[in-house]
Structures are given as C-alpha cells and as structure tokens.
Structure 1
Amino acid sequence: MKIIGRIVVATAVVALAATTMAGCTQRGSGGGSSESPGGGDKEVSVAFVPKLQGIPYFEAMNTGGQAAAKDLGLKWLYQGPTSADAAAQADIVRSYIQQKVDVLFVAPNDPNSMAPVLQQAKDAGIHVATADTDAPDSVRELFVNQASTEGIGQTLTDELMKAMGGKGKYAIVSCGETAENLNSWIAVQKKYTAEKYPDAEIVDIVYAGEDQAKATQMATDLMNAHPDLTGLVGECTSSAPGVAQAVADAGKVGTVFTVGLGTPQAMKPYLEAGSSSASVLWDVEALGYLTAWAGQQLAEGKEIPAKPDVKAAPEASYDSSTKVLLLGPPLVITKDNAGDFSY
C-alpha cells in the first residue's frame, strides 16, 4: 500500500538527523518503519487474518480496512489461509507476531486452537483482538461484531418463515463446525424457531466448510433425504449461494425456500430467480473499516466511547463490560436492494 508521509532525504546530514529522530520516536512493537502524517510517531500497523482469503466477503472487509487506512493514516495488513484451515491460519498469525505488528485482528476458524496463539501475540507486546468471529475464551482485548447474535439468528428465521408460511421442515447448511459465530447463530435459530414457530422444525444441520460446491451437494442430499423439506438456510457466505444453487438445480424454486448469509452480488442472481428469498448480512466494507479504526484506538491507548464517531459505521456501539464493538443491526438483502452493493 502507499505509505503516507515518506520523508525524502537530500543530504547526509539530514539523513543522520532523520535517523536520530526515528530512534527517539520508536515505540512499542513494530510493523513498518514509515512515519505518520504528523511526522512524529511511527505509523500504526494493524493486521487482519480472515478465516479464508479470496472469497468476496473477506475481500470486502479488506476493502473497508484499506479505506480506513487511507483516511486515518495507518498501515493495514491483510492475509488469510487459502482454505478454512485452523493450522494454516495460526501460521499466518505467527508470521505477524514475528513482524511485530502493533495490533493483530483474527477471525478464527477454531477459537479454541487459536487462543494459545493469541496469547503468544500478547506476550510479544502486540494488541490482540477479534473481528467477524470471536474467540471469547482468549486474551483478546476487543471483538468487532457485525451484528448481535440474537439479531442475526432471529432475522434469518423470520425471513425463512415468511417464505415458508410459518410452518414446515427446514435444514441448515453451515460452514466451519467450530466457528463460534455460526454456532451461536444456530443456537438462536433453534430456540427462536421452537418458541415463535411451533409448526416449524429444524430436521438437520450439516457442515460444508467454506466450500460452495460442497454446500450445494449437501443441500441436494438433504432434499433427497427429506422429501418433505421446504426450507434451507445457508449459514455463511459460501453456503448461502450453495443452497440456492441446489434448489435451482433440483427445479424446486417455489417449493423449497432458502435464506442465508450471502454477499449481495453473489446472491443477486438467486434472489432475482427466486431460489433465494433473502440474504441477511450487514455492510461488510463498513465492518472492515470499523476493524481498522478500532485497531488504531487500541494502538494509541484510547478509550472507546459507548457511541463511537466513525463515519463508515454511524450505528456502531461499544459495550465496555463485554468489550464488544457492534457495527449495528443486520441488513436484509432482497432482489430490490442487492444491486446497491458492489461486493
């Protein structure tokens, strides 16, 4: 990325002075040697390790983080595994520890196995936080949450029940079996369905990793195993289009209804064709922006207010008791507004 505030040295004398100044202003753990726009302290480095690199969802978070870096004058680093592999993700986290970044955000594939690695980062003097997916039993200082667990789980259920007429059998195609955020949403869906929709039933929950083709196959298998199935939920941004594709392939549009957590552009053709009724998400770029902003607050030792002033996240709120920075309420994406988003 472009480094802001690079000083061009013209003479050996100036070079020596600049070197001396840099030595005086060095602070904390490193992660880049450029200086901030003010010309004083070292530029803050904020690294984000997603569950998986290369899918539209996390690339949109990266876009938001890059925008924040430009606006705020910080260094944004982004790298994730090429498959949803906890061990590969841990290796990337360790590489950032070696680079001595100032702040390290992770969306852990497996919160339990990631916890000791986050401890290593903290021991190295790095501020540790989570974004998108939490590791609540770790040393993380902050969790940047996209929307409340109850809000997401209940909205997914309500949108599906709206399409299914409030009754019938449905199944969930989730992704990572150990992903804390997905499992917490499913817990809400189970409880909320039983309480609010007594004529509806969740008949099965399966896990496709972060593999859209596998999600499509699993959804097909579920429809074959349960001929009276009338609903499917894709619990993440790869399984949401996967279950919608399965319904289209089976010629069951209007018979089996789907909702999921899919990105707008990925879901747009399915929403328009009717194989998906709605996608429940949030502004993913804003989540990335808020993550970078929060990283700067941690690096500079600033207290986060209950109502942060972040231009890209006007509905953000912070709960100091749980250390959760919430982006805002979930967003329902339909065929009418899917085109409003570029990702």
Structure 2
Amino acid sequence: MKTRGTRFAAVTAVALVASMSLAACGNKDEESPAAGDGGSESSATTVTFLPKNLGNPYFETSDAGGEKAVGEFDGTYDEVGPDAAAPDAQVPFIDTAAQQGINALVISANDPTALCDSINAARDAGTKVVTFDSDTSPDCRDLFINQATAEGIAKVQVDLITEQIGDSGEIAILSAAANATNQNAWIKLMEEQLEADHPDVKLVDTVYGDDDDQTSFDKTAALLSDHPNLKGIISPTTVGVAAAARYLSSSEFKGKVALTGLGTPNQMRDYVKDGTVTSFALWNPADLGYLAAYAAKALADGDITGEEGDSFEAGDLGSYEVGADGAVLLGDPFVYDADNIDDFDF
C-alpha cells in the first residue's frame, strides 16, 4: 500500500482528463441514488469535480486522480467547469449539480464567499461539498482537502528564491486571480517570512495573471520592464510559473533573473534542463484529487460527517483524519530540480 510518506516517489504517467463540455453534469441513470441518501453497496456514488477552470494542466492532473479514485470505488465521475477562473463563474455548475441530485461535489473555489449561497443551497438539497486546492469559508462546505499547510507552501517558496538570489535583492510575485483564497494566504505568509527572516530581500511588486497563460506571460514581461533591478520571481500558480519560464527562456534575462514557484514536472522539465529554472515546488496534484474523491465518498456514504477526529480510508493513500475546521492535510510540499525531475510524470 502506498503511504503518505512515499507519495512523492516516482509516479506512473497520469492520463490527463480530456476537456469536457461546459454543459453541466452528464445524464444520470434513473436508478442512481438521490443526493444525500447515504448510498448503498448496490448504488454508485456520484461525484462531480468542479475545478477553477477547464483546460488548466494542474486541474487536468488533479481531476484525473479523482477519476481514478471514483473508478476504484465503482462510483460515477464527472467534471464540469468554466473556461475562465472568475469569482462567480462556478455558480451555475454548482446549481445544476444540486438540481441533478449529485451525491458529492468537489470544488476548487475561485472565491472564498461568492460561491457560498449556491453551495449552501446544494448542501440543503443533500449534496455533500468538498473543497480542494482552494477553500471557501469553512461554514459553506463539508470538508477541505488541503494540499499542504499554508505555512509550509509559503516557506518552501521563500526558501527557494532567497537561496537562488543569494538572500539579497528585489523580487516580485506573479499570482493567479486577485481574490484566489489559497494564493492570498500564501502571499501574506511569504511577506511575513521575508520581513522576519530576509531583511535584504525586497518584495517590490505583486501582479496577477488570472491563471491565464498569455496574461501571465505579459505580466512577466511587464515586471521585468518596470523593475530593471529585479533578481527573482515567485509564481505560486502552475499556469503562471510555466508562462514566466517560457518568457524568461527566450529572453535576455535567462540565467539572470531567478524563477521559482509551484509547477508540475511535465510543465517545467524543459525549463529546468535548459537552466531557466533551478528548482520549484509542488505536491502531487493527482494524489490531491484522489484524496478528495475518497473524502467525498466517505461523506456521501455517511461514514464521516466532517467533524474533527473523523477518519476514513483513501485507497492507496491509506487512512486520513479530519483536523480543525474540517480540513484534511495531504502532506508536505516537495521540491523538484534537475536531479529528480525525470522521476516524475504528471
């Protein structure tokens, strides 16, 4: 059995989820259980994944992990979502899932509060709601699957950039959307850690690429134009860090301006090998989706309620316990570099 301590060992290729239609959840068999009925051994648990946006490689990987888990417990899987990661773009998909009687909805939230009315209506209708990657307010979901602690995610990125620039000089942050819950929590902690432990490093700007490749690419160019003494960039978003690396790799700044953040090995491999990027961090997004799916099943089946101290089995990942505020922790961030990046394929 794969344990949490070895989840970052080399993984086999994860089949990416094909881009789905923007239509809401697929047709359900008339004999599928109504939402919230607890399910049974003879009834498939219906689980719908709602990422921040479709076509995002990070969510393609995490949702593929969710699909694998749902297949293991013989449930019914679906993925729906908007094209763009806007605050209220996920609302109609939540409403439709509730109307269709989905047992469980797994959401990476674009906003901590904008979704709450729809989520609470879905919960009132019997749909269990699990957030993952990016949380809502705790009172409008049943569980949050946390990829790593906010402190750990912030610290690993600060440690990497300060090491790469010699702990001195100007840096900037290229984030996702300005109201993304997880991004803002990490940025706040990074600011605090820089101030407390790295007095010679100055954060001169924070910009937002909206998890769009071209916007992030353009924001990288603007950062380097606006701050000619910039020595490093942190991009705590897989879309942003890959777009920034793409810009740097063919510019005069390659090898002069350091870049780190949160990325996937397949996105960043070429940039690590050509010297654009030294190292970056992430968890295994496939494991994150996998864990979220098993948590959704445990809630839908009535095995747990989301209370602190509840425990459930998550397939190959083993046993997990619900912590404070209904949060379940996947594990610690992992650093990828030239020595290990070829050991991973996602």
TM-score, structure 1 normalization: 0.86
What is the alpha-carbon root mean square deviation over aligned residues?
Answer: 2.2
Equivalent in the alignment of 1:333: 336
Q: How does 1:70-85 map to 2 (within 5 A)?
A: 70-85=71-86
Alpha-carbon distance change, 153 to 26 in structure 1, aligned in 2, over 3 angstroms: closer
Distance in structure 1 (CA, Å) of the matches to 2:271 and 2:86: 28
Equivalent in the alignment of 1:112: 113
| 1:102/1:299 contact within 8 Å kept | yes
Q: How does 1:28-43 map to 2 (within 5 A)?
A: 28-29=35-36, 38=41, 40=42, 42-43=43-44
| 2:147/2:330 contact within 8 Å kept | yes
Distance in structure 2 (CA, Å) of the matches to 1:167 and 1:319: 40
Distance in structure 1 (CA, Å) of the matches to 2:33 and 2:283: 38
Higher helix share: 1
Q: How does 1:271-310 map to 2 (within 5 A)?
A: 271-303=272-304, 308-310=312-314
Equivalent in the alignment of 1:151: 152
Structure 1 residue ranges without an equivalent (≥5): 1-18
Percent of counterpart pairs with the same letter? 31
Return the offset for 1:307. Answer: 6.6
Equivalent in the alignment of 1:87: 88
Structure 1: which amino acid aligns with 2:247?
A
| 2:169/2:202 contact within 8 Å kept | yes
Structure with bigger gyration radius: 1
| 3-state SS of paired residue (1:203) | strand
Return the offset for 1:318. Answer: 3.1
Moved more, 238-247 or 157-166: 238-247
Q: Paired residue for 1:324, among 323, 327, 334? A: 327
Tell me which stretches of 4 or more aligned residues in structure 1 moved more than 6 Å: none
Return the offset for 1:306. Answer: 6.6
Return the offset for 1:341. Answer: 2.5
**1:102 pairs with 2:97:** no
Distance in structure 2 (CA, Å) of the matches to 1:319 and 1:298: 12
Distance in structure 1 (CA, Å) of the matches to 2:111 and 2:192: 24
Q: How does 1:259-278 map to 2 (within 5 A)?
A: 259-278=260-279
Distance in structure 2 (CA, Å) of the matches to 1:309 and 1:113: 31
Structure 2: which amino acid aligns with 1:226?
H
| 2:313/2:320 contact within 8 Å kept | no
Alpha-carbon distance change, 186 to 317 in structure 1, aligned in 2, over 3 angstroms: farther
Distance in structure 2 (CA, Å) of the matches to 1:72 and 1:185: 34
Distance in structure 1 (CA, Å) of the matches to 2:63 and 2:322: 25
Return the offset for 1:325. Answer: 0.7
Return the offset for 1:288. Answer: 0.8
| 2:87/2:179 contact within 8 Å kept | no
Equivalent in the alignment of 1:169: 170
1:181-216 deviation per Cα after TM superposition (whole angstroms, max 9, x unaligned) = 010010111001111111101100001101122112
1:317-337 deviation per Cα after TM superposition (whole angstroms, max 9, x unaligned) = 534322101110001111222
1:52-80 deviation per Cα after TM superposition (whole angstroms, max 9, x unaligned) = 11121101112111111121122222111
Structure 1: which amino acid aligns with 2:126?
G
TM-score, structure 2 normalization: 0.85
Equivalent in the alignment of 1:218: 219
Distance in structure 2 (CA, Å) of the matches to 1:26 and 1:230: 56
| 1:258/1:276 contact within 8 Å kept | yes
Structure 2 residue ranges without an equivalent (≥5): 1-29
Distance in structure 1 (CA, Å) of the matches to 2:59 and 2:106: 13
Q: How does 1:232-271 map to 2 (within 5 A)?
A: 232-271=233-272
| 1:233/1:243 contact within 8 Å kept | no
